């Protein structure tokens, strides 16, 4: 009897990797782009990021308290949601914008559908799209604030909360994608935008999307830690390039293609949000289709839409298709009701 094997309930193979460790790695990977965003856009960018994170954490805590949900190990997902939401906001927005966005992301998109693992789309991107539709003017005001140093800190903080930093002696600037979209037909893309500045992050845009270098450093960390696979990001970006060649209207202009890849939220979306475990397909075939659809929709939104960007709407739209992709790409089991004789 002593030689009998110990039998326990499944799962029989366990891993030290938990949701908390995955979320911690994602947060670490986002630090380089966040720091560069604060350096580029100033102290108000820091306030937007902190406000977004604190709002998401408090919203999750208060909701669980009010709903009397049983205590579970804290998995840090609200911190990542808040950080991603803040990185998708301009530094010039008033601080009540990330508060509204944080509550929408956590309560409406996540908790009302059952919490982590049950949300039907990426909470941070859903909140960004909600804010973009609701407050289009404030969400597309990109710039760097230049406060008068003679003003009292109390006055500046109150004005920032109500109106945003860009409303007070702000320096506005168009994003590279907007410049490309509105440039004259005879103009060269190289004369309109600087690819070097776009790669390093010294351009207009939301807080966390401007520096491709910083985002790639974070993405490399996630790949090294085996948190994400390169399948979805590479297929997404590759499909984007192919469809851009077909529909972009610039032919085989490598500078234009590189500018479109480096501009906007393509890199941030491809590596940090399209790879979300909950809202991306679980099968390899589904992930391939998912990536191709993302590339197609992003090009359609950018080229034919009124807005120069399109990553956020492309991702949340494809998130809605994930249950369908999983349904038709999950391998059929052998046996009764499944495959017979291996066919």
Please report the pLDDT score of residue 222 as a whole number. 96
Residue 339 pairs in a beta bridge with 334
Asked whether 59 and 102 are in contact (CB, 8 A), the reply is yes
Range with top average pLDDT, 44-48, 168-172, 173-177, 325-329: 44-48
Please report the pLDDT score of residue 143 as a whole number. 62
Please report the pLDDT score of residue 7 as a whole number. 60
Distance CA(43)–CA(313), nearest Å, equals: 29
Please report the pLDDT score of residue 186 as a whole number. 58
Per the prediction, the chain carries an average pLDDT of 84
Please report the pLDDT score of residue 333 as a whole number. 67
State the SS3 of the chain.
CCCCCCCCCCCCCCCCCCHHHHHHHHHHHHHHHHHHHHHHHCHHHHHHHHHHHHHHHHHHHHHHHHCCCCCCCCCCHHHHHHHHHHHCCCCCCCCHHHHHHHHHHHHHHHHHHCCCCCCCCCHHHHHHHHHHHHCHHHHCCCEEECCCCCCCHHHHHHHHHHHCHHHCCEEECCCHHHHHHHCCCCCCHHHHCCHHHHHHCCCCCCCCCCCHHHHHHHHHHHHHCCCCCCHHHHHHHHHHHHHHHHHCCCCCCHHHHHHHHHCCCHHHHHHHHCCCCCCCCCCHHHHHHHHHHHHHHHHHHHHHCCCCCCHHHHHHHHHHHHHHHHHHHCCCCECCCCECCCC
Residue 170 pairs in a beta bridge with 145
Segment 101-144, tens digit of pLDDT? 999 999 999 998 888 878 889 999 999 999 999 998 888 887 65
Query: Above 50 in pLDDT, residue 28?
Result: yes
Query: Above 60 in pLDDT, residue 47?
Result: yes
Q: Which has the higher per-residue pLDDT, 188 or 211?
A: 211
Distance CA(333)–CA(342), nearest Å, equals: 10
Q: How confident is the model at residue 55 (pLDDT cuts 50, 70, 90)?
A: very high
Q: Domain-by-domain residue ranges, the chain?
A: 20-323
Please report the pLDDT score of residue 275 as a whole number. 94
Query: Above 80 in pLDDT, residue 48?
Result: yes
Q: Stretch 81-91: mean pLDDT, rounded? A: 95
Q: How confident is the model at residue 343 (pLDDT cuts 50, 70, 90)?
A: low
Q: How confident is the model at residue 33 (pLDDT cuts 50, 70, 90)?
A: very high
Please report the pLDDT score of residue 169 as a whole number. 42
Please report the pLDDT score of residue 152 as a whole number. 42
Residue 144 pairs in a beta bridge with 171
Asked whether 81 and 123 are in contact (CB, 8 A), the reply is yes
Please report the pLDDT score of residue 176 as a whole number. 84
Query: Above 90 in pLDDT, residue 164?
Result: no
Asked whether 312 and 265 are in contact (CB, 8 A), the reply is yes
Query: Above 70 in pLDDT, residue 202?
Result: yes
Query: Above 80 in pLDDT, residue 86?
Result: yes
Segment 248-295, tens digit of pLDDT? 888 888 999 999 999 889 999 999 999 998 999 999 999 999 999 999
Please report the pLDDT score of residue 147 as a whole number. 38
Q: Stretch 288-305: mean pLDDT, rounded? A: 94
pTM: 0.85
Residues 6 or more apart in contact with residue 157 via CB below 8 angstroms: none
Domain 20-323 CATH assignment equals 1.10.3430:
yes
Range with top average pLDDT, 68-82, 202-216, 232-246: 232-246
Q: Stretch 45-65: mean pLDDT, rounded? A: 94
Distance CA(320)–CA(280), nearest Å, equals: 10
Query: Above 60 in pLDDT, residue 240?
Result: yes
Lowest mean pLDDT among 22-26, 82-86, 247-251, 310-314: 247-251
Query: Above 50 in pLDDT, residue 151?
Result: no
């Amino acid at each position: 009897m002593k030689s009998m094997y110990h039998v326990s309930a499944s799962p029989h193979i366990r891993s030290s990797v938990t949701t908390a460790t995955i979320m911690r790695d994602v947060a670490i990977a986002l630090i380089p782009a966040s720091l560069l965003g604060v350096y580029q856009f100033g102290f108000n960018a820091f306030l937007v990021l902190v406000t977004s994170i604190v709002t998401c954490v408090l919203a999750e805590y208060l909701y669980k308290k009010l709903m009397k949900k049983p205590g579970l190990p804290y998995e840090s997902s609200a911190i990542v949601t808040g950080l991603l939401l803040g990185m998708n906001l301009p530094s010039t927005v008033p601080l009540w914008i990330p508060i509204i966005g944080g509550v929408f992301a956590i309560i409406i998109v996540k908790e009302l559908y059952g919490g982590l693992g049950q949300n039907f789309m990426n909470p941070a991107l859903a909140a960004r799209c909600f804010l973009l539709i609701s407050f289009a003017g404030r969400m597309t005001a990109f710039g760097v604030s230049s406060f008068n140093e003679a003003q009292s800190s109390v006055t500046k903080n109150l004005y920032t909360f109500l109106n945003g930093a860009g409303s007070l002696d702000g320096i506005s600037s168009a994003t590279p994608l907007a410049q490309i979209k509105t440039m004259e037909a005879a103009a060269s893309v190289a004369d309109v935008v600087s690819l070097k500045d776009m790669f390093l992050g010294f351009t207009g845009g939301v807080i966390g999307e401007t520096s491709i270098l910083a985002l790639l450093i974070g993405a490399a960390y996630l790949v090294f830690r085996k948190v994400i696979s390169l399948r979805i990001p590479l297929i997404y970006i590759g499909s984007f390039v192919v469809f851009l060649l077909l529909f972009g209207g610039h032919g085989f202009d490598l500078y234009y293609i590189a500018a479109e890849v480096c501009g906007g939220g393509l890199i941030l979306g491809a590596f940090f949000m399209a790879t979300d475990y909950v809202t991306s397909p679980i099968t390899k075939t589904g992930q391939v289709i998912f990536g191709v659809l993302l590339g197609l929709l992003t090009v359609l939104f950018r080229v034919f839409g009124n807005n120069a960007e399109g990553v956020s709407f492309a991702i949340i739209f494809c998130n809605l298709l994930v249950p369908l992709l999983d349904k038709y790409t999950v391998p059929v089991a052998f046996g009764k009701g499944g495959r017979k004789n291996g066919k």
